[in-house]
Amino acid sequence: MLDGETLKALYEKHCKHGFKYSYGTAGFRYKADILDTVMFTTGVLAGLRSLHLSGQTVGVMITASHNPPEDNGVKIVEPRGEMLEQSWEKHATQLANCASESYASFATNLEELVKTLKIDTNRSGGIAVARDSRESGPRLLEAFEAGVQAFPTLRIRDYGILTTPQLHFLTSKTNEFPQNVEKDEKLYYNEFLSAWDEITTISGIEALPFELKIDAANGIGGPKISAMLSQRQVFKNAYEVSNADWQNYAALNYCCGADFVKTNQKLPHGIAVGETFNARRINCSFDGDADRIVFYYNDPQGQFKLLDGDKMATLFAKFFQQLLRSSGLQKDVEMGVVQTAYANGSSANYLEQVLGVSVKCTSTGVKHLHHEAVKFDIGIYFEANGHGTVVFSSKFVELLNSKLATDSQSSPESYNSLKLLSVFTRLINQTVGDALSDMLAVLAVLLVLQWTPQKWDEEYTDLPNRLIKVVVPDRTLFKTTNAERQLESPANLQQEIDALVSKYDNARSFVRASGTEDAVRVYAEAASREQADELAAMVGKLVENC
């Protein structure tokens, strides 16, 4: 570790005093102008994490995802591409807040962490870092790298501007592959495009029967999806990327992107569905760092129809259930879907009552969903906002490999189902929700099933719902229980919400503090659009008056 004087000089250059930080559902996320201190301490903590894990490479992503351009944030990625071990979140928060007090407090806390965690600071280790396209990124990267310098034995691989899922993927591959394999974007594209190629070969698909429109939220997902799809002839002249002005900092997520479409339930700027019904037209929106995706289309009456994370979860559940049955594995494989309180009530009913699939509910945040999903052989998790993925257990992959090796003489349908299951374990980015990978997976499912977007949507009908954001002086006052479906505080607010809900048909509503913004989110659903909108507005008023 650096000597005290050198470390103090770095601290004084990058750290400011007087702000209290908290590691949230997606790391630290605030206005960019108050992030220098936490970027510096995150560099220190990421170094500690790598050294604690015997020198494995730890990932760090500088991003604020769907937040407005003036925000930014940072999160630490585990060696296998997963979110930071939850027990370390308190270390990240404490180190940042000590640094916000004084150098003496920071230095003391750092020394105690090294001692308590029994970290050998002379060990070598690695950090993989990337950032999204925000204007504040280069400055915050400099503060982060200064923090990493606390441990001279650490090497840093700066990937520049990437999507968040690309950073997760490359962190995982850095620890998985031998040193002579180059870990870069080419590896990422090859991984998922080669799986796509196998699916099209197995299914006899020669052309994309969709007119695909992609809203890239003016984020880095725009050039990355173009770089990916341009490598395959099947996509030539079959897709168009809108809102791809990623170098216009002020345009990021402005009136576009997955969060805008989901929250407002309307088209983003830059995409016009058109007045004429087109059964083969499908649209999708990424968010600013391309870890979320939602789909949408226009129905025969020209109405906007949203296909969100719930619709994706149910699509994958039905598809994999069919493949398990046709391959004869349905009795050997446990599949489940993990949702949050934001999941539409109709989706849970469809999964449990129509498909007979197990459904679990967790707190908001993919770290919570991922933890539950890995308990299944096939664990499907998507937040309603479009952030999610599918994870496959090692037991399931071994079973597939064994069956493929011994069942080559079985029926063509059964064998093809086994092959498709195997390929989907590689088409889907299992480390984290990935707009690019999820988009390919959804398209592949629709192609294999020969479904139109309308057929997909008609599997079940969403209850009308509304999600609104209410700015409050102190979001920490809003504490929840029962997987965030009920409030513990402020006192009596839950009873007031329950009284409002009882006045509407087939209704429910809940309130929770945002994990990424200084606001409280209010969700409501009811039997009609008018009732859902009215209930959300009235609950929002209760929150404002707290």
Binding residue positions for substrate: 383-385, 512-516, 521
Structure tokens at 281: 């037209």
Per-position DSSP letters for 409-451, written without gaps between them: TS-HHHHHHHHHHHHHHHHS-TTS--HHHHHHHHHHHHHHHT-
Dihedral angle over CA of 203, 185, 176, 181, nearest 10: 100
Give the separation between CA 39 and CA 277, rounded to whole angstroms.
49
**Residues 6 or more apart in contact with residue 31 via CB below 8 angstroms:** 70, 71, 72
- Planar angle of CA 388, 66, 524, nearest 5 degrees: 70
Element (H, E) at 42: helix 36-52
Give the separation between CA 224 and CA 159, rounded to whole angstroms.
14
Under 8 Å between Cβ of 14 and 140? no
Longest dimension (CA), the chain: 72
Annotated active-site residue in 22, 50, 54, 65: 65
Dihedral angle over CA of 100, 101, 104, 106, nearest 10: -40
The length of the chain, given as a count of residues: 546
Q: Known binding site: residues?
A: 65, 287, 289, 291, 383-385, 512-516, 521
Taking Cα atoms as reference points, which of 272, 333, 332, 341 lies closest to residue 309?
341
The sign of the torsion formed by the CA atoms of 507, 510, 515, 516 equals positive
Spell 84-119 as b/e; 16+ CB within 10 A means b: beeebbebbbbbbbbbbeebeebbebbeebbeeeeb
One-letter amino acid identity for 306?
L
**Residues 6 or more apart in contact with residue 254 via CB below 8 angstroms:** 68, 69, 218, 269
Is residue 358 annotated as a catalytic residue, yes or no? no
Looking only at the bridges linking them, the beta strands covering 125-131 and 57-62 are: parallel
Which residues are the active-site residues?
65
